[in-house]
Amino acid sequence: MKRYEGWLALMLDINGERRETVVRPADTMLRVLRERLGLRGTRIGCENGDCGACTVLVGGEPVKSCMVLAVEVEGERITTIEGLSNEALKEAFLSEGGFQCGYCTPGFLLNAAALLARHPKPSDEEIRLWLESNLCRCTGYEGIERAVKRAARGSEGGRAEGSA
């Protein structure tokens, strides 16, 4: 990591690409993804760790990017919604009405992808518990849960993809 009078040069591994950027030490991963790297699919919500709208995967694990500094994730494998290639999960959200306004959807998709990677056949309880870190103001959650179940059924006999 190079330092320049209050700024730091970082090389980040995002969606399979190496992306160079310059940040301030206190910049969150959320702000750097959106404002420096143009990855605006990662949503700004509470910026307080409560809503999950900003969820991305770091090393395949769901992380609220508003709660992590960009300098902390240099050298980690980061997946944002732009790099998520689990098409079955995306299609299940479409088929089951897993979104309305869509603002929360990138965070839910990434978190659900991580769930299916770890638990390819999750129980209803596991789905509810895993996704309770994400908030949706529109759907009532039933469509989201149906979508995750549908994607799990679709992945039977194959590996559920979590980390893109």
Full DSSP string of 60-94: TEEEEGGGSBGGGGTTSEEE-GGG---HHHHHHHH
Spatial distance between the Cα atoms of 58 and 60, rounded to a whole number of angstroms: 5
Provide the minimum distance between the beta carbon of 9 and ligand FES in the complex, in angstroms, as a whole number: 25
Single-letter amino acid, residue 30: L
* Span near ligand FES by CB under 6 A; candidates 5-13, 46-54, 72-80, 121-129: 46-54
Provide the minimum distance between the beta carbon of 34 and ligand FES in the complex, in angstroms, as a whole number: 11
**Continuous segment of H or E residues that includes residue 130:** helix 124-131
Spatial distance between the Cα atoms of 110 and 116, rounded to a whole number of angstroms: 10
Name the residue nearer to ligand FES (CB basis): 34 or 150: 34
104: contact with ligand FES by CB under 6 A: yes
66: contact with ligand FES by CB under 6 A: yes
100: contact with ligand FES by CB under 6 A: yes
Q: Total residues at the site for ligand FES (CB under 6 A)?
A: 22
Spatial distance between the Cα atoms of 34 and 151, rounded to a whole number of angstroms: 28
Residues forming the site for ligand FES (CB under 6 A): 44-47, 49-54, 64, 66, 99-104, 136-139
